[in-house]
Structure 1
Amino acid sequence: MLKQNTARAQIRVRMLLLALCCHLGPAAAGVLKVERTPDGGGGGDTISHSAALVWHLEALMAQGDSSDVSLRVETPNAEEVKVIQAHSLLLSLQSSVFADMLLSRNNNNSSSLVLKESPDCAAVFDKFIRYLYCGELSLHLEQAMPLHRLATKYRVLGLQQGLTQYMTQNLARDSPLGHVAGWYEYALQAGDVTLRDSCLQYLAWNLSSVLRSGEWSVISSRLLMSLLPRSDLVLQSEMELFAALEVWIVQNDPDGLTAENALRAVRYAMMPPRELFRLQTQSSILARYQESVRDLLYMSYQFHSASPLQMAKFFDVNCSLFMPRNYLSPVWGFSWNINNPTRDDRSTSFQTQLGPSGHDASKRVTWNGLFSPRWAALSSKPTNTDAGTTQPSRVERGRPRLIVTPATSSADFAGVNFQKTVLVMAQHKGKAVVRHIYNFYQSTEENEDFLEEADLYRKTSDYVADGSLSIHIIVKPLYQTLTASKK
């Protein structure tokens, strides 16, 4: 039996090669290119008909010449069956799953394979098979997930990786009902860690815009609970998050435990006392679940009424409740549009609240910001100055850097660490999105990759829109005694 199967396979290969030769013929013009060896010597010349080969393979698939297997694509509860004439050699070369199925078919002397697919996968099955023949395909945004599902099912790794890259690069694309949340759920199911993490990061870094979209109300409780504990959420304020969470609970009516866990993930201490009072008197959701968050509200009122350093002496407050997120409110930072960011150094100044506690609400810190498009570390070789003294020299061209320092020192700073966060915006299809987040204490020189991918000197850089680089600087005051880890 094995010899017979081998003989049949050899005959099919000869027939397929003959069909290809007949299709190719002399029609394609040769493309001549010269390759050079690494030492500069002359290399061998290559005549390439690869583009013509792809064209003829596509024609071979479309016409079904010399096909030896019929693919019957069936969908549940559908009378119509899609039939594709294919060639077992090409299917086996591209997919180990097809190779196993075809081997089983040969043992059963069957001329067809019955494939059970969902309606969305069946709709793009022609595109999937075309990729197996030609190594390329064109697609719309909504076709990415079913194609990825087919590539995963049939173990076509090249296509699977290519679609993962396509999806991660198109998270910011506009779609009627949103697509990132659906892609996240699919990535969890498919075990695609790269896609899962990319979707979660995009949603976290652009959450303020997501909350105002139709996608927010349909996200799953699993995705919701993956987002809420994160400190890197980009929001106008914690109040914005609570208001959106109210909407989600009303529209999705989750079980009591899910609603309680979601409400306990809100950082009430980051809301001013007047907002907390308003929530307790006006929010029907908070009234319904108030017993579940009573301790958090109590701790939040204490946090605002006493000095944080004094409070830490009596209460264990080393938790996320007292950690600021990436708030876009002017109280916490400054939005800076830097015109012609490659031209020269730029400076600015802005003020932030000393700390999130109500005890520090009236205190302000003035900050100086310096952006340099060509910042480089000072070299160890000194240079002479006109005054006869020496100072370290600076390289003319370097990578962009940002320095944020307080304008004055104050005794009020005692016990407070200031973490700086800079959000870097990029344009995608005319839409501004947060592409990178960098955390530092004095200078982004602490981050060796700051704006490494931006290439501000390139005219088509996604990071420069209308000649400007858009960044948002956030200052996070962290009380040392509150954030210190326990021994």
Structure 2
Amino acid sequence: MKKMVKLMVLLLQAAWVLTVAADPLRVEGQPDDGGGADTLSHSLVLVQRLEAIFLQGNGSDVTLRVETPDADEVKLLAVHSLVLSLQSPVLEDMLRVRNGSTLTLRESPECAAVFEKFIRYLYCGDLSLRLEQAIPLHRLASKYQVSALRRGLTDYMKFNLARESPSGHVAGWYEYASEAGDTSLRDGCLQYLAWNLSSVLRSSEWTTVSSGLLMTLLRRSDLVVQSEMELFAGLEEWISHNSPDGLTAENALRAVRYAMMPPRELFRLQSRSAVLARYRESVRDLLYMSYQFHAASPVHMAKYFDVNCSLFVPRNYLAPLWGSSWVVGNPTRDDRSTSFQTQLGPSAHDASKRVTWNVLFSPRWLPLSMRPMFTDTGAMQPTRIEGGRPRIIVTPATSSADFAGVSFQKTVLVLAQRRGRLLVKHVYDFHQSTEENGDFLADADLHRRTSEYLVDGSLVLHVVVKPMYQSLVTGKN
């Protein structure tokens, strides 16, 4: 009891120190002759005082003994039960039932190494950390139910997904988030890996990906890669490095979309890939169907084979035949347009056929329901108003009658610069029934030069067109 009273006295003294501190007095609000009140804020000095109380151990009433499982390391921290109880319901219960003035806590070596940082946060509400300390601190925040710190660390990790690290960290964070039940962090890591897989494949982190995460990625249609061949090369490297069991390797190889590779690449793959040669029997049927897909008319092939599967669904390929990059300088100024060509379909039967696409970007455009229709000549008639939101329109230059049996999934990748690295920040998918996406850049502030959506003042986009044969593919993969 005496120690508790002493602690309260110290806190009161801290509050008194604030009133006479040398720091300038901050007054919020203006004098109000009508009887209103101003606010005097010295919270920063109070936090500094509380930190000093922790560091010096003044008035502490309990000692935390932090041990590792093998008792290789022991840390002793003099703390104040009142402060810890206010911040953590778990510590409050443990302190209530403790015997004596020492509370023993057993932590992993990683958590023990950052435990003092964790306790300091309970006193002053901030901490400094490195990437490798994020997981143990998050684990401590979860264990002791310090929800504000847990949320803050989740946000920190999601913000630093693109940050450089010697061996990568996103895959490890994904595994931890799955284990800890942090769905926000797990989904953020998975989205980053999927949307930036082309760069991840070239990093040292790729071979550290677990088999479970590998399969989760391979099943996705929104992977952003140069081509399916680049994805196969990455998978071949992963298998060679990790030497998985036969079933894992076969399942991974069967998730490759071989039909999205031109026949010449398939022939080269079969003659040069040691991994494919080893597991050829497990994918023989997929290779056979892919060759047939390229040799015959897709509509004709559908009469004899049931091919409603992801094998025939393109991913978000960055190669020129599937779309084009577009840098829009000063995107708030006026409307811009560009054009590019793609192949009509992924089948070699349609490889020589090209589709020209017109893309129009407008920083302030009326919604589709409020726009005039196209003119007789097919020209787009944009209607711009102040306060309108950014819009992007992707339309074919030729009549849709030329695309019998083919539908087009249009995707716009928005790139951003994070810590000096260019990454995919957002992916917008267009519905077949409309030529625009109503949510496009809905949250972007393009007028602000420091907007995270701008790279050196420009909007960096990549438009991907994914042709799919309507008679072959049903539903969304």
Identify whether the pair has TM-score above 0.5, normalized to the shorter chain: yes
Whether 1:167 aligns to 2:162 is no
In the alignment, the residues of structure 2 paired with residue 288 and residue 280 of structure 1 have an alpha-carbon distance, to the nearest angstrom, of 10
Whether 1:206 aligns to 2:196 is yes
Shift in Å, 1:445:
7.3
2:441 equivalent among 451, 455, 458: 451
In the alignment, the residues of structure 2 paired with residue 134 and residue 428 of structure 1 have an alpha-carbon distance, to the nearest angstrom, of 29
2:352 equivalent among 362, 367, 370: 362
- Cα deviation, 1:295-338, whole Å, max 9, x if unaligned, reads 11111111111111111111111000000000000000001111
What SS is found at the alignment partner of 2:471?
Answer: helix
- In structure 2, the partner of 1:55 is 48
In the alignment, the residues of structure 2 paired with residue 320 and residue 67 of structure 1 have an alpha-carbon distance, to the nearest angstrom, of 63
Q: CA 1:456/1:36 → structure 2, altered by over 3 Å: closer, same or farther? A: farther
In the alignment, the residues of structure 1 paired with residue 101 and residue 237 of structure 2 have an alpha-carbon distance, to the nearest angstrom, of 55
In the alignment, the residues of structure 2 paired with residue 35 and residue 103 of structure 1 have an alpha-carbon distance, to the nearest angstrom, of 46
Shift in Å, 1:124:
1.3
Whether 1:350 aligns to 2:340 is yes
Q: Is the contact made by 1:378 and 1:393 (CA closer than 8 Å) also made in structure 2? A: no
> Which one-letter code corresponds to 2:81 in the other structure?
S
Q: Is the contact made by 1:379 and 1:394 (CA closer than 8 Å) also made in structure 2? A: no
- In structure 2, the partner of 1:217 is 207
- Cα deviation, 1:343-380, whole Å, max 9, x if unaligned, reads 11111110000000110011000111111111123786
Shift in Å, 1:78:
5.1
- Cα deviation, 1:148-179, whole Å, max 9, x if unaligned, reads 11101111001001110111111011111111
Q: Is the contact made by 1:401 and 1:443 (CA closer than 8 Å) also made in structure 2? A: no
Structure 2: gaps spanning 5 or more residues: 373-380
Whether 1:461 aligns to 2:451 is yes
> Which one-letter code corresponds to 2:8 in the other structure?
L
Whether 1:20 aligns to 2:15 is no
- Cα deviation, 1:42-65, whole Å, max 9, x if unaligned, reads 642222221111011001100111
Structure 1: gaps spanning 5 or more residues: 1-7, 383-390
> Which one-letter code corresponds to 1:67 in the other structure?
S
| C-alpha RMSD of matched pairs (Å) | 2.3
- Cα deviation, 1:406-455, whole Å, max 9, x if unaligned, reads 11126440011111100000010111100000011479875332112321
1:68 equivalent among 56, 61, 64: 61
Q: CA 1:36/1:185 → structure 2, altered by over 3 Å: closer, same or farther? A: farther
Runs of 4+ displaced beyond 4 Å: 378-382, 391-394, 441-446
What SS is found at the alignment partner of 2:321?
Answer: coil
Q: Is the contact made by 2:391 and 2:436 (CA closer than 8 Å) also made in structure 1? A: no
- In structure 2, the partner of 1:241 is 231
Whether 1:260 aligns to 2:255 is no
**Percent identity for Structure 1 against Structure 2:** 69
Shift in Å, 1:14:
2.2
Whether 1:413 aligns to 2:397 is no
- Cα deviation, 1:188-236, whole Å, max 9, x if unaligned, reads 1111000000000000000000000000011111110111000000000
Correspondences of 1:24-35 after superposition (within 5 Å): 24-26=15-17, 27-28=20-21, 30-34=25-29
In the alignment, the residues of structure 2 paired with residue 462 and residue 445 of structure 1 have an alpha-carbon distance, to the nearest angstrom, of 26
Q: CA 1:91/1:442 → structure 2, altered by over 3 Å: closer, same or farther? A: same
Shift in Å, 1:252:
0.2
Q: CA 1:429/1:392 → structure 2, altered by over 3 Å: closer, same or farther? A: closer
In the alignment, the residues of structure 2 paired with residue 374 and residue 443 of structure 1 have an alpha-carbon distance, to the nearest angstrom, of 22
Structure 1 residues 367-376 or 206-215, which shifts more? 367-376
What SS is found at the alignment partner of 1:163?
Answer: helix
> Which one-letter code corresponds to 1:150 in the other structure?
L
Q: CA 1:253/1:264 → structure 2, altered by over 3 Å: closer, same or farther? A: same
1:276 equivalent among 258, 266, 273: 266
Q: Is the contact made by 1:97 and 1:154 (CA closer than 8 Å) also made in structure 2? A: yes
Structure 1 residues 227-236 or 115-124, which shifts more? 115-124
1:91 equivalent among 68, 84, 87: 84
TM-score (norm 2): 0.93
Shift in Å, 1:81:
1.4
- In structure 1, the partner of 2:94 is 101
Correspondences of 1:181-200 after superposition (within 5 Å): 181-200=171-190
In the alignment, the residues of structure 2 paired with residue 443 and residue 24 of structure 1 have an alpha-carbon distance, to the nearest angstrom, of 64
- In structure 1, the partner of 2:378 is none
In the alignment, the residues of structure 1 paired with residue 402 and residue 418 of structure 2 have an alpha-carbon distance, to the nearest angstrom, of 42
> Which one-letter code corresponds to 1:251 in the other structure?
H
In the alignment, the residues of structure 2 paired with residue 375 and residue 51 of structure 1 have an alpha-carbon distance, to the nearest angstrom, of 46
1:119 equivalent among 109, 112, 115: 109
Q: CA 1:351/1:42 → structure 2, altered by over 3 Å: closer, same or farther? A: farther
Shift in Å, 1:41:
7.2
Q: Is the contact made by 2:407 and 2:432 (CA closer than 8 Å) also made in structure 1? A: no
> Which one-letter code corresponds to 1:316 in the other structure?
D
Q: Is the contact made by 2:328 and 2:459 (CA closer than 8 Å) also made in structure 1? A: yes
What SS is found at the alignment partner of 2:10?
Answer: helix
Q: CA 1:145/1:331 → structure 2, altered by over 3 Å: closer, same or farther? A: same
Structure 1 residues 357-366 or 140-149, which shifts more? 140-149
2:142 equivalent among 143, 152, 155: 152
> Which one-letter code corresponds to 2:472 in the other structure?
L
In the alignment, the residues of structure 2 paired with residue 422 and residue 114 of structure 1 have an alpha-carbon distance, to the nearest angstrom, of 55
What SS is found at the alignment partner of 1:183?
Answer: helix
TM-score (norm 1): 0.91
